[in-house]
Amino acid sequence: MIKPKALILRTAGTNCDIESAYAAGQAGFEADRIHINRIASGEVSLDKYSFLFIPGGFSYGDDIAAGKIMALELNKRLGDSLFRFEEQGKLVLGVCNGFQILIKTGLLPFHSHNPEKMRATLTDNDSGKFEDRWVHLAAEPDTVCVFTNTIKPVIELPVAHGEGKFIVRSQDDMKELEDNGQIVLRYVTNNGGTPSYPEDPNGSMGHVAGVCNKRGTIFGLMPHPERFLHRTNHPRWTRQNMPEHGDGTAFFKNAFEYCAKM
């Protein structure tokens, strides 16, 4: 069988591209780490890939706002190929800084590229500081997201961000996302209950940790699934009896199964 190909997009400041490529490779993809300049120049074609992964980091130092410069660059330099990628039903995943980028391109969650009509953003954590901790998450039962088909009811992943607070302009906007099945993950307590700080590390509206597009093929989340692929990635692996595969593995296995069928 020909392996589906995953493109791990990187630029100045990206620092999770190696872990991201490893995660995609472990799931079965042929994973390539590609600098955005090679795609913009035409040297590498996005069309030959079925999975685009925008990993975490601090693209361009977050000098304006987290992910903003990279988002502008994507829209200006890769706009047509990126839209074509989405229209073909291919997968896009943005983790942490990658999620911030997808939000600021307008691809998530309302698919609007007019800055005046952006109805969602990721902003400073309520704590006013960088949050680096492990959190519990629950997948919404009616989400349309391809990546979460087989994850457990409550999972655990690490977060590391300063601007992870998801907000929308109104409760009507939140209801629209909920009705469409676009809310994918929420922060919860370890038994699935309603969290407070630090269980919700940033104060997101509705405790939202991840959202997708209407088709469920573009997914962004603040926690890092690529950082929990094996039980030894967990800080309590020597003290708890854990499965061999970490909770992040299922995200990439689901992506691989979808792309293999395509």
Query: Active-site residue 226, yes or no?
Result: yes
Query: Active-site residue 96, yes or no?
Result: yes
State residue 19's pLDDT score.
96
Cβ atoms of 209 and 221 within 8 Å: the answer is: yes
- What is the CATH code for 5-261? 3.40.50.880
Say which of 16, 19, 73, 96 is annotated catalytic: 96
Average pLDDT over residues 46-69: 88
- DSSP E strands: which ranges in 146-198? 154-161, 165-168, 183-188
Average pLDDT over residues 95-121: 87
Q: What share of the chain is helix, strand, coil (3-state, %, to 5)?
A: 35, 25, 40
Q: Delimit the domains of the chain by residue range.
A: 5-261
Query: 20: part of which helix (H) or strand (E)?
Result: helix 17-27
Q: Between helices 97-105 and 68-77, what is the axis angle to 10°?
A: 50
State residue 148's pLDDT score.
97
Cβ atoms of 230 and 244 within 8 Å: the answer is: yes
State residue 1's pLDDT score.
67
- Range in 11-15, 49-53, 71-75 with the lowest mean pLDDT: 71-75
Greatest extent of the chain over all pairs of C-alpha atoms, in Å: 51
What's phi and psi for 182, nearest 5 deg? -90, -15
Q: Which residues, at least 6 apart from 224, have a Cβ–Cβ distance to it below 8 Å?
A: 16, 56, 95, 96, 157, 158, 159, 160, 248
Query: Active-site residue 145, yes or no?
Result: no
Candidate ranges 82-91, 106-115, 171-180; pick with highest mean pLDDT? 171-180
State residue 201's pLDDT score.
98
State residue 68's pLDDT score.
85
Say which of 136, 161, 207, 224 is annotated catalytic: 224
* pLDDT of 161 above 90: yes
Say which of 131, 226, 234, 259 is annotated catalytic: 226
Task: Kindly list the strands in the beta sheet with 91-95, ordered across the sheet, starting from the edge strand earlier in the chain.
Answer: 30-35, 5-10, 51-54, 91-95, 218-221, 208-212, 183-188, 131-139, 154-161
